[in-house]
Structure 1
Amino acid sequence: MPPRAPVPLPSPLAQDLIALAQAGRWPQLEAQARKALGKHPEALLLHNLLGSALNEQGRHAAAVHSFQRAVQLAPQAPELRFNLAVAQAAAGQLAEAVASYRAVLAARPELTVAHYNLGTTLQRLGRLEEAEAAFRAALVQAPEAVETLGNLGAVLQARGRLDEAIEHYREALRRRELPRLRHNLGTALRSQGRLDEAVEAFEAALRGAPEPALAADTHTRLGETRWDQGRVDEAVAAYRAALAIDPAHAAAHYALGVVAFDGGQLDAALACFEQTSLHDAAQRRLDLLYRLGRREAFRTQLAQQLAAGPHRAPWVATLSAHHAHEHGLPDACGFCPEPFRALHHGRLAPLAEADSPLRAALLRDLREARMAERKQGRLHHGVQSAGHLFKRPEASFRTLAELLRGALQAYRAGLDPALGVYARDFPAEPVFSGAWSVAMRRGGHLSAHIHEEGWLSGVVYLQVPEPPPGRQDGAIAFGLDGNGYPRQRADWPETVLQPRAGDVVFFPSSLFHRTLPFDGEVERICIAFDLAPA
């Protein structure tokens, strides 16, 4: 049945209702519109005004219903469908809002705000390629739009295109100084390892008097960057500044917990992690209970986490395996029951050639790229790069990332299902949560540790000193013991691999690993990375 034609509203009534809308008197407008609908149920203006009144009062789902009725009465009116899209997005009906915005643009492609709103909605859905296209379409019509430039920068940053993101943030800032843009610029610079520039951006954002929530976030980001630089006191001051603004700020509590832990203040660290559920705070609490020797509390929380399932936390697997071996108990964690069988030691052919151009390019870019060092206590006689190598613009890093994606796909295809959740839920599309270089000189080594945020971790070797015959200098060792966990037993299993330049090693992120010291003048240079959980 075709929709009924809308009926006109008596002019005096329409004028009175429009005046209420213009004055922002939304409760009165809602009441008057509902009353009028009793007499004029097919009046298009009433449904549209009622939808506006409801939307402005935060009752977005009810507003959607009113705008849908208006669209039914006038399906060819793009302005009504635009109002519907706005309400749908506000109500969290994001896929429906996308469809509505696309319908608006089919009729009115010149409507810049519809392109922009479509972009923000797609951004919320994580459909970043489509969001980028929508923002670019908006910029064609309004190239000076600061909000569009900034949002496009955020999308490009999320897609790993940091140079382009930084360019768009700077372009937007040339037009208008906004704290949010400075904050986002700082996060992108930090991801590139440009820590001094990131600090400048965060400090500029704070000078811009941001609203409280953004100010607390920016202080925390500034603190994280100072932490990367090894400037602990300044990091702590920034975290405390965030908590002065928002005493419940989860990221600031988490970061202070990391500082306390690194300083050996385990009780203080536990108190910080008890204030937040952010990231892996639950695993960090479990780790601290174990270190502090609170055996019953540890066992209770471990049992609770294992009972809750689905055994997707590598750190819990590490703790469960260590506790089980130390006490001669069965390991109830199903993440990766036999982690040593998941070790892979292979060659990357383009890096393994005697005069590999790619290996030479990687070594050159590591020497010449503008990257700060990231301080970390487990590394002795060496340096680690800050930021995410695979999000940098150098072609060599991007080529290596593509090579690794192919190797990881092959590794995944060969995993034994008996390797538990690790094999069953192994990411079908590899996404790197981090990538960094480690360069060690004579005597260099890393103490035993895990990568808490990964699913799989790996290392690509670019330059490795030749060990003396019969020795394992510079090798990488894998085991169940590390992190200074309490232990009495001496019989801890360990596997040692001796890498060469061009080698790659994959392993579950739950497995402890360390490097053995070496002698000689040749640096040991590798790129380590984590594969994010699916």
Structure 2
Amino acid sequence: MANQTQSTTKQPSQLEMQPVLNLFNAGKLAEAESAAKKLVAHYPNTFILYQILGIAQDGLSKFADAVESYSKALAIQPNMPDLLFNLGIDLTNVDRLPEAETSYRKAIALQPRFFEAHGNLGTVLQKQGRLEEAIESYRKALDIHEDPRGHFNLGTALRDEGKLDEAISHFRHAISMFPNYADAHNYLGECLRDQGNMEDAIKSYLDALKLNPGHPGANYNMGEFCYLAGRFDEAVTYFEKSKLDDWQERALYCTYKAEHFDDFKNKLDNIASTHKKHDAPFLATLSTHYATNFGVEDTYNFCKNGFDFVYQKSIPELAEPDSQFLKDLLNDIDNTAIEVRAQGMIINGKQSAGNLFKRPEASFRRLGEIVKQEFLNYKNRFAGADCELIKSFPNELEFTSSWYVRLRRGGYVDRHIHEVGWISGAVYLVLPKDKKDPTEGCFEYGLHGDNYPQKHNNFPVGIATPSVGDIVLFPSSLFHRTIPFNSNEERICIAFDLKPEGDIFIRSSY
């Protein structure tokens, strides 16, 4: 037994270690990894070998292997804040966020002024939707050491929380410290856009593109601006440069809006034939509209018969008489400091900025969990349907965004779709009662909107008539609008999109 213990604690000699160190110090990471693996097989209790392995695997983007190596190093020497920090990064890279949080907190406990660990902890908390905690971590990092990245990170969390003015201040601060910070210029532009300040938003996008002509986000945002301005050919160029998220669908949309129908059909057919899964709701909208417009078969099978997949149900906690939950939601909407996002599709109303279900208020969090359960109910309701809407239903139930919409007399939301979504929906909290027409304030869905080019007017519509406490879910590919109401009342709903994996955050309205 004594010999066995001695063999497990035996360390390599300097002569044995030197080739590994030489390879590592020369930046030959693959060779260093291979040499360290051979040596650690003989000396399994050697801290520096696992440390070298972790750093080399990190550099080779072998994040899961790096997690294992750092963990073994820390099992030998646990009080190493730098290694705990590195482990936190790699745990984040492999989406093991609770473990990453623990690793960063251990590093901070050992080294309280480790500002990078505070900052990275904030990022992990933000990824988990814990915005208040993330903001606290970012502020701690900045209190210890002020740097552009810290202001940028804090700005992104404040933006998610709907605090646009404060977010803008931090993005500007990051830029003042590092004028070439292209990401900060782009995010600043997005916040200015959300406030309706398009002139300054465009300037920020262009500033980002001066620094980095290939910046994906800035190119995408300029494409979005150009298509909203009706400059469709310019928009196509920006989207194709961005190669970001749904750029292909956006470029195809601009081709259709420009009425280049032959070019549109050729590109659509190419996409439909080369993509194994028809899993882009935006393409489904375009394909269905084209097929209806020209009387041809719809070849894109995301959800050809979207009307069949509209789901309406009452939420008992909200629908019951004198519901305390409903009162809590309305109280938080009235009294929580949430900024308003400029939204051109809303007439006589307003929409909240940020992501409501990521806010700390208990009522919003509770409603988010209820909605997630309804997503599962929706999936089960339509199980077995032969379309990608159900067959490729997202496994991770996250919200692209969530927001409230308040409409007053004469208020409505114009026809639109949610270009980046999968399932969209709304929960209805206040509805007009004094209606001359029973459809006033109702939810209308259909196949046409957004001034798409029309060859005829035969585009069908459907109407959902919600009651207070109802939830309505539907494929994000369907156009939808709020029918105007004329009574001196309010209409309040909380709307949301289910996030397809890998998609970006874009907010729309109901």
TM-score normalised by length of structure 1: 0.90
Deviation by residue 1:202-238 (Cα, 9 ceiling, x = unmatched): 011111126x4xx000000000000000001110111
- How far 1:47 sits from its partner (Å)? 2.8
Counterpart check, 1:46 vs 2:12: no
Q: 1 CA distance for matches of 2:288 and 2:134?
A: 42
2:208: which partner in 1?
242
Q: 2 CA distance for matches of 1:336 and 1:270?
A: 26
Q: 1 CA distance for matches of 2:192 and 2:438?
A: 39
What aligned pairs does 1:458-473 form with structure 2 within 5 A after superposition? 458-468=425-435, 470-473=437-440
Q: 2 CA distance for matches of 1:129 and 1:307?
A: 41
The residue matched to 2:489 in structure 1 has which SS? coil
| 2:44 maps to amino acid | P
Contact preservation (8 Å) 1:345, 1:506: yes
The residue matched to 1:382 in structure 2 has which SS? strand
Contact preservation (8 Å) 1:3, 1:72: no
Counterpart check, 1:98 vs 2:98: no
Identify the match of residue 108 of structure 1 among 77, 84, 98.
77
Deviation by residue 1:312-350 (Cα, 9 ceiling, x = unmatched): 100000000000011111111110122111100111110
2:263: which partner in 1?
297
Contact preservation (8 Å) 1:451, 1:510: yes
Contact preservation (8 Å) 1:467, 1:473: no
Contact preservation (8 Å) 1:81, 1:104: yes
Contact preservation (8 Å) 2:11, 2:45: no
Counterpart check, 1:218 vs 2:184: yes
Deviation by residue 1:492-532 (Cα, 9 ceiling, x = unmatched): 11111111111110000001101110011211000110001
Are residues 111 and 4 of structure 1, via their aligned partners in 2, closer, same or farther at CA, if it must alter by over 3 Å?
closer
1:359: which partner in 2?
326
Q: 2 CA distance for matches of 1:453 and 1:175?
A: 38
Contact preservation (8 Å) 2:232, 2:255: no
Are residues 115 and 478 of structure 1, via their aligned partners in 2, closer, same or farther at CA, if it must alter by over 3 Å?
same
1:267: which partner in 2?
233
Are residues 529 and 231 of structure 1, via their aligned partners in 2, closer, same or farther at CA, if it must alter by over 3 Å?
same
2:459: which partner in 1?
492
| 2:79 maps to amino acid | E
| 1:388 maps to amino acid | N
1:282: which partner in 2?
248
Q: 1 CA distance for matches of 2:494 and 2:10?
A: 67
Q: Between Structure 1 and Structure 2, how many residues are aligned?
A: 495
Contact preservation (8 Å) 1:467, 1:518: no
1:30: which partner in 2?
none
1:136: which partner in 2?
105
Contact preservation (8 Å) 1:476, 1:497: yes
What aligned pairs does 1:162-181 form with structure 2 within 5 A after superposition? 162-181=131-150
Identify the match of residue 399 of structure 1 among 362, 366, 371.
366
Contact preservation (8 Å) 2:255, 2:261: yes
- How far 1:8 sits from its partner (Å)? 4.8
Bigger Rg over Cα:
1
Q: 1 CA distance for matches of 2:478 and 2:484?
A: 20
The residue matched to 1:492 in structure 2 has which SS? coil
Counterpart check, 1:124 vs 2:93: yes
Deviation by residue 1:44-72 (Cα, 9 ceiling, x = unmatched): 22233233234xx3x32222112213323
Q: 2 CA distance for matches of 1:356 and 1:418?
A: 36
| 2:313 maps to amino acid | G
- How far 1:469 sits from its partner (Å)? 5.6
Contact preservation (8 Å) 2:279, 2:302: yes
Contact preservation (8 Å) 1:337, 1:419: no
Q: 2 CA distance for matches of 1:295 and 1:471?
A: 39
Are residues 5 and 143 of structure 1, via their aligned partners in 2, closer, same or farther at CA, if it must alter by over 3 Å?
closer
Q: 2 CA distance for matches of 1:155 and 1:373?
A: 27
TM-score normalised by length of structure 2: 0.94
Contact preservation (8 Å) 1:135, 1:152: yes
Contact preservation (8 Å) 1:51, 1:67: no
Q: 2 CA distance for matches of 1:90 and 1:5?
A: 28
- How far 1:302 sits from its partner (Å)? 0.5
Q: 2 CA distance for matches of 1:129 and 1:375?
A: 35
RMSD: 1.8
- How far 1:382 sits from its partner (Å)? 0.8
2:152: which partner in 1?
183
Deviation by residue 1:10-30 (Cα, 9 ceiling, x = unmatched): xxxxxxxxxxxxxxxxxxxxx
Contact preservation (8 Å) 1:47, 1:67: no
| 1:262 maps to amino acid | L
Identify the match of residue 479 of structure 1 among 435, 446, 451.
446
Deviation by residue 1:327-380 (Cα, 9 ceiling, x = unmatched): 111111110122111100111110101211111111111111111111121111
Gaps of 5+ in 2: 502-510
Identify the match of residue 227 of structure 1 among 157, 168, 193.
193
The residue matched to 1:171 in structure 2 has which SS? helix
What aligned pairs does 1:408-419 form with structure 2 within 5 A after superposition? 408-419=375-386
The residue matched to 2:341 in structure 1 has which SS? coil
Q: 1 CA distance for matches of 2:270 and 2:32?
A: 43
Q: 2 CA distance for matches of 1:183 and 1:518?
A: 42
Q: 1 CA distance for matches of 2:254 and 2:18?
A: 61
Gaps of 5+ in 1: 10-42
2:127: which partner in 1?
158
Q: 1 CA distance for matches of 2:41 and 2:473?
A: 57
Contact preservation (8 Å) 2:443, 2:465: yes
Identify the match of residue 533 of structure 1 among 490, 500, 503.
500
Contact preservation (8 Å) 1:128, 1:155: yes
Q: 2 CA distance for matches of 1:470 and 1:274?
A: 46
Give me the identity figure in percent.
39
